[in-house]
Amino acid sequence: MQYKKLGRTDIEVSALCLGSMTWGTQNSEAEGHGQIDIALNHGVNLIDTAEMYPVTPINHETQGRTEEIIGSWFANTGRRDDVIIATKVIGGGSSAIKDREGADISPATIREAVEGSLKRLQTDYIDLYQFHWPNRGSYHFRKYWAFDPSGQDRNKTRDDMAECLRTLGELVNEGKIRHFGTSNESCWGVSQFLDIAEAEGLPRMASIQNEYSLLCRIYDLDLAELSINEDVGLLAYSPLAAGILTGKYQGDVTPAGSRRTFSENLGGRLTKNVFPAVDGYLAVSNKHGLDPSQMALAFCISRPFMASVIFGATTNQQLENSLKAVNLSLSDDVMADIQSVRREHPMPI
């Protein structure tokens, strides 16, 4: 296993991060525990979760169950110190958390969410606490793919950010969280958090969790430059594009038990442009004798701004197969062929 420093912290995280968002619906507690055991045995030390998980599908009855499954593993094994745990508080506008009524991230909701996560995780501290998406909205999740400036107030946005960072600073001093990260953020948003933190001596952002895969590479633009120069590593989610890059949906099919049985278009990822792009990447893996999933994950791991690549699995076979990606070094010929496919299909999703 490869390890990298997480931002400017003293934490070293594994190149692969175990995602958990299926635990509690698609995967049982026992299966979740088994996945943790397998991943740790292969050197993975980072697990990513969120207060709203599981998300296949999202509902109030199962909300928080994923954290509870991780918490029961901690209680059963006593191995809390062997794991770097990353969790998240949801942003404004979502009704995923019962009784919060879509409230924005604020000092009050941060404290409420942290206490809830600590209880479910059965731990005294969270290693990386992340904002799931910004209060002002996000152009991620393929809703728009465009910035909408209407209604945005720069001063209010910065004031809200500063208030939240001050609360995070208090929680760090109380020993309840160690470090801060964000998710589904923009280059401007990350730069504001960094600027405010430096000006006021508040917790510095260690990471940003955005989508990144062979099919979704908008991070290669401005955020990549920011990551390198400001030491804010990417925690890439959906590196297999919700399973699309495995090839299992080619021919527009829906395998039994797959995520597509919960989400027909996989969060907007299944478009008319996706299938020919995946054909291209499958041809590259076939030409070079590579497993397509491992090639896709190894590509993500190789990116210079990458802190860790978050992958999930619903079966142990999928998990074991993905873990082999850390031992795969892509040759110059493979990278050149990948670049050729990208030129032909620059933004399929």
DSSP for 127-165, written as a single string: EEEEESS-TT--S-TTS-SS---TT--HHHHHHHHHHHH
- Per the structure, the count of domains in the chain is 1
Inter-residue contact 162 to 232 (CB < 8 Å): no
Q: Which residues pair with 211 in a beta bridge?
A: 237
Mean pLDDT of 41-51: 98
Share of the chain above pLDDT 90, in %: 80
List strand residue ranges (DSSP E) for the chain, in order: 3-5, 12-14, 16-19, 46-48, 84-89, 126-131, 177-183, 205-209, 233-236, 306-311
Q: Which of 53, 129, 212, 219 is catalytic?
A: 53
Note whether residue 298 is domain-resident.
no
Amino acid, res. 290 = L
Q: Is residue 258 part of a domain?
A: no
User: Is 291 part of a structural domain of the chain?
Assistant: no
> Would residue 252 count as lying in a domain?
no
User: CA 321, CA 72: separation in Å to the nearest integer?
Assistant: 26
Short-list 191, 202, 206, 215, CA closest to 266: 215
Q: How confident is the model at residue 161 (pLDDT cuts 50, 70, 90)?
A: very high
Residue 135 resides in a domain: yes
pLDDT digits (tens, 9 = 90+) for 124-134: 999 999 999 99
pLDDT digits (tens, 9 = 90+) for 233-276: 999 999 999 999 999 889 888 888 778 777 778 787 888 899 99
Residue 172 lies in a domain: yes
260: in domain:
no
Q: What is the pLDDT of residues 173-184, one digit of tens each?
A: 999 999 999 999
Query: For 75, phi and psi rounded to 5 degrees?
Result: -65, -40
Residue 52, pLDDT above cutoff 60: yes
Angstrom distances, CA of residue 290 to CA of 243, 282, 330: 16, 9, 9
Once rounded to an integer, what is the mean pLDDT over residues 116-140?
A: 92
The CATH number covering residue 198 comes to 3.20.20.100
Radius of gyration (Cα) for the chain, nearest Å? 19
**Of 279, 277, 285, nearest in space to 331 by CA:** 285
Residue 257 within a domain: no
DSSP at 1: -
Active site residue 53: yes
**What is the value of pTM for the model shown?**
0.95
* Cβ proximity of 23 and 319 under 8 Å: no
Short-list 11, 13, 56, 48, CA closest to 314: 56
Whether the per-residue pLDDT at 140 is higher than 80: the answer is: no
Domain containing residue 15: 3-243+304-327
